[in-house]
Structure 1
Amino acid sequence: MTYLLAFSFPAHSENPRVVFAVHEKLPSVEQLAEKTAACLGSETELRLVDQTSSPAWSSYNAVVLVGPQALKGWTFAEKTPAVAVFVSRDAAAEQLPRLASALYLEPPLKRQIALARKIMGEDRPLGVLVQDKAHWKNAGLSSVPLQPSLVTPYFVDQYDNLNRALLDLLKSNHALIGTYDTELYSSTNIKNILITAYRQNKPLIGPSSAYIKAGALATTYSDIDDVSRRLCEVLLTGIKEKVWPEADYNPYFKVRYNQQVGRSLNLLLPDASELAEQLAKEEGEY
């Protein structure tokens, strides 16, 4: 039986019909579909991704694949353009040739570094802990001059273990920048990483909003409003102009702090809303 939930708003014949392919019903996905419908001014629907054989898919202007499970379960047998959301850059990478577009879940590492500089100081050295050089290249920073930028990657595979790499990083840098790597920053490793860092009075920046409660100092993140805003732009551009924006990070985002961690490190944290606006403005200048 098809799972169907429709969100309708005043529609016109020229407004697109969009379907959200989901692995399971979640409140956050329903919110995203509803907000996107309001932006498009037309109807959106939710359907289970395992219903891909249904001929109804072809009646839509676009399908939004929500999350890695929906992306993995999509057969791409339909001609309907597919846009992936709530997926990491790595998860989307294999399917990019067949996707019309994608909106990455995580913030770009350059943005996280810019955030750290605003908090710690522009002239403070920062360390990035990564699995290996391949992960550094995928982060989009392999072409950045390391010395002038005061950003140094520490490759775990070049050390005997994670702790040795972490201690080497903390010895020479004022903050640890986390990358969106669920293996490196797993539930098993994150406690050890945070305890080791704060023993050295060094904060962890990122890698995502989920780590703030665990003890990370700050991060940038995109909430449902930010995702729906960008998704609507992607859909309208692709459907109406027939040119789909390239898969990319979300340009709309917010800043979140762990105020308790900031106080324990005696750090004066800038206003989160003002800082997010400043970072977004600086990104737009490049």
Structure 2
Amino acid sequence: MLTVCFLLLFLLCSTKPLASVYLVHDTEESSARALSFQLSRLLTVDSDVIPVRRAVFLTRSAEITEKDVIVTVGVNSFRGVCRVGSKGVVIALFVGKEEYDKIHLNCALSASAVFSGAPLETRLKLLQGIWLDRKPLAIVHSDTLLIDQQAMMEKGAEYSFEFRFFETATDRLSVLKSINFVLEDSALIFSLVDTELYQKGVAQDVLRLLFHKRQVMIGPSYAFVRAGSMFAVYSDTAAKLEALAEKISTWQNKEKLLAPSYPDKLKVSFNPYLIKSHSVVLPSASYLKEHYGLCSEEEC
């Protein structure tokens, strides 16, 4: 009997995966399990993908090994994991570039990310092609973003746009006051991925205000288009997971952490009502793909 027990123990140890992937989240358990399942199917190395709530993970971070990967779902999970001294590496998912840059400044781990939204240049290039008004573009943001204003101004100038930046408190009243103020000089809000700013329905309130003033926003995601922004360039969850799997597999196979990046596959979605009311002429689906590298929502 004792011999059988030792044999079973040996077999279990010998088949243990080389490393684990911890999916740290604050979402519904069913959503976390679905993400874990989809991610595990994309990995090239035999790894457990273990969904774990952020509060639980923070109490057991000492169990992480050098080879392990911590995938954080959302800004709060990324911030929480970065504050804890641990082994392994952390890869942030569902965060914006400017959110990542701010948190990464004080992150205790080697870190990378798959960004939500789309590269600034891609958004500006498309906007230049369809939007004739050259009034300044307003960026309203919270203090949770790290924004390189000089770099953004230089990139905007390449496409004949000027940026104006406005930091605001994130309560509903402060945000709406800021939007009212910036619209005196700007015809368009150029939004960034800003979880803190657009929480608890504030995005819907902002979009309703813009609708009544007949002014518009360029959103950071498809959800913003559905709520009333003019268009958004973004990646879907499948594209994000493909990019994430590549980063994880590269780390596990080569111990090389790839730099943070946007997914290669980007979509664009337009709000038909706003496109029509502002007399915007849209490029064809084939032109969007060839000239901008974007897949239209109808064609994807």
Q: What TM-score results when the alignment is normalised by the length of structure 2?
A: 0.70
Q: Are residues 145 and 152 of structure 1, via their aligned partners in 2, closer, same or farther at CA, if it must alter by over 3 Å?
A: closer
- Identify which range, 257-266 or 134-143, moves more after superposition: 134-143
Q: CA deviation at 1:184?
A: 6.3
Identity of aligned residues (%): 21
Residue in 2 aligned with 1:168?
185
Letter matched to residue 85 of structure 2: A
Q: Secondary structure at the match of 2:227?
A: coil
Q: Work out which of the residue numbers 49, 53, 64 in structure 1 matches 2:54.
A: 49
Q: CA deviation at 1:32?
A: 2.8
Residue in 2 aligned with 1:102?
113
Residue in 1 aligned with 2:164?
154
Residue in 2 aligned with 1:35?
38
Q: CA deviation at 1:164?
A: 4.3
Q: CA deviation at 1:251?
A: 3.2
Residue in 1 aligned with 2:26?
23
Cα deviation, 1:102-129, whole Å, max 9, x if unaligned, reads: 22223233222122123336xx636321
How well do the aligned residues superpose, as a CA RMSD in angstroms? 3.4
Residue in 1 aligned with 2:96?
88
Q: CA deviation at 1:135?
A: 6.5
Q: Kindly indicate whether the alpha-carbon contact (under 8 Å) linking 1:31 and 1:224 is maintained by their aligned counterparts in 2.
A: no
After TM superposition, the structure 1 = structure 2 runs for residues 137-216 of structure 1, keeping only pairs within 5 Å, are 137=148, 140-144=151-155, 146=157, 148-156=158-166, 162-170=179-187, 176-181=189-194, 186-187=202-203, 188-196=205-213, 198=214, 203-216=216-229
Letter matched to residue 209 of structure 1: Y
Q: What TM-score results when the alignment is normalised by the length of structure 1?
A: 0.73
Cα deviation, 1:26-69, whole Å, max 9, x if unaligned, reads: 54443332222111144422112222333553386212111122
Is it true that 1:61 corresponds to 2:43 in the alignment? no
- Identify which range, 101-110 or 13-22, moves more after superposition: 13-22
Larger radius of gyration: 2
Q: Which runs of 5+ in 2 are unaligned?
A: 1-14, 168-176, 295-300
Q: Are residues 161 and 242 of structure 1, via their aligned partners in 2, closer, same or farther at CA, if it must alter by over 3 Å?
A: closer
Q: CA deviation at 1:245?
A: 1.5
Q: Which runs of 5+ in 1 are unaligned?
A: 1-11, 282-286
Rounded to whole Å, the distance in 1 between the matches of 2:104 and 2:147 is 21
Q: Are residues 72 and 126 of structure 1, via their aligned partners in 2, closer, same or farther at CA, if it must alter by over 3 Å?
A: same
Cα deviation, 1:215-263, whole Å, max 9, x if unaligned, reads: 1121111111011011011111222222212223333321112123223
Q: CA deviation at 1:16?
A: 5.1
Q: Kindly indicate whether the alpha-carbon contact (under 8 Å) linking 1:126 and 1:176 is maintained by their aligned counterparts in 2.
A: no
